[in-house]
Amino acid sequence: MSDQSPTPAESSYSYLGPAGTFTEAALKQVPDAAGKTWHAVNNVAEALADVVSGRSTAAMIAMENSVDGGVSATQDALANVPGLRIIGEYLVPVNFVLVARPGTTLADVRTVNAHPVAYAQCGTWLNETLPGHGHIPASSNVAAAAALLNDSHADAAIAPPGITEHYPLEVLAEDIGDNGNAVTRFVLVSRSRAIPAPTGADKTSLIVELPDDVSGSLLGMLEQFSTRGVNLSLIQSRPIGDSLGRYRFIIDADGHIADERMADALLGLRRFSPNVIFLGSYPRADKQTIEFTSRYDDAIFIEARQWLRGLLDPNHTAG
């Protein structure tokens, strides 16, 4: 099988399972994934390993949550696993329900099973409604719910809203998250090196290391974008891991590598940074058209190159 052209018949997708997770909800947004084989996996590393090995054509992984921030496991995996490309972005609203075995009431709940992140996001509601409850951590939101039907010591679980389609549980309370507008951003990752065509509403994801000291070189790195009129929607630091104080930066920049200003910023970054990873250019989930001043139009870049070429050519006539 060629790297670039998996035949459609072979297409398959990995995602953090089981059925009912927010990740599955993200994958449902992908038209090409409909009717294909879906592999439920246990974590980001497994999902990406499926892509690298060719078991799956692509994997849906959580990138960032509006409340919790960047998903460290995803960011670190993208920095360390070579050859991956982001080909799409998807947003899923994050709501939680409290579920229990049929017959349980809120008053019965002493112990709650929940993934630590979900548990943290429901802290206000839990502390007000169930003061003194205990917490048993689970490996996923769906696993927490499923465990109630096995030998769980918990009385209730925090789970996604659609959980009752998959398990015979009862909803004790809805919309228990602290932030009703919470949303998680997922990305679809593949090995394909074909870059989705520019749409005018694109983003480019990068991982960039800095040459030496953090503050001066962070300034220098940001100038690579600002001097080309490229705005950033995300910049996060992650430790490189070898010692305290060494960071790489996870960056989402407005625009597409096919845009002249972005291509020029990438050249500047590559020269500036000891390590730049291009994770891909792809359509933004929010479909917002990128705005930039006309100073950074493609035509301006092209004209400047022609001007320079004319200067270097002694037989050129224009001034």
Q: Among residue numbers 49 through 108, which ones bind its own copies (CB under 8 A)?
A: 64-69, 72-73, 82-83, 91
Range in contact with its own copies (rule: CB under 8 A) among 6-14, 102-110, 157-165, 217-225: 217-225
| Interaction residues for its own copies, span 98-157 (CB under 8 A) | 116, 120, 123, 135, 137-139
Is 52 strand, coil or helix? helix
Closest separation in Å from C-beta 109 to its own copies: 18
Specify the residue for token string 């490996």: 139
Distance between CA atoms of 144 and 220, rounded to whole angstroms?
46
Is 237 strand, coil or helix? strand
| Interaction residues for its own copies, span 244-283 (CB under 8 A) | 244-245, 247, 257-258, 263, 266-268, 270-272, 278
Residue 236 within binding range of its own copies, rule CB under 8 A: yes
Distance between CA atoms of 160 and 146, rounded to whole angstroms?
12
Closest separation in Å from C-beta 165 to its own copies: 25
Closest separation in Å from C-beta 71 to its own copies: 11
Report CA dihedral (57, 60, 63, 65) to the nearest 10 degrees: 170
Q: Which of 186, 230, 255, 290 binds its own copies (CB under 8 A)?
A: 230
User: For residue 18, is the peptide bond before it cis, meaning its omega torsion is within 30 degrees of 0?
Assistant: yes
Closest separation in Å from C-beta 295 to its own copies: 7
Q: Which is nearer to its own copies, 46 or 170 (by Cβ)?
A: 46
Q: Which is nearer to its own copies, 3 or 171 (by Cβ)?
A: 3
Q: Which is nearer to its own copies, 105 or 307 (by Cβ)?
A: 307
Retrieve residue 71's tokens.
């998903």
Retrieve residue 52's tokens.
């690298």
Range in contact with its own copies (rule: CB under 8 A) among 24-32, 101-109, 157-165, 235-243: 235-243
At 182, give phi and psi (nearest 5°). Answer: -60, 140
Closest separation in Å from C-beta 311 to its own copies: 5
User: Could you tell me how many residues of this chain bind its own copies (CB under 8 A)?
Assistant: 86
Distance between CA atoms of 94 and 242, rounded to whole angstroms?
34
Distance between CA atoms of 133 and 38, rounded to whole angstroms?
37
Residue 198 within binding range of its own copies, rule CB under 8 A: no
Distance between CA atoms of 163 and 21, rounded to whole angstroms?
8
| Helix spans in 168-213 (H) | none
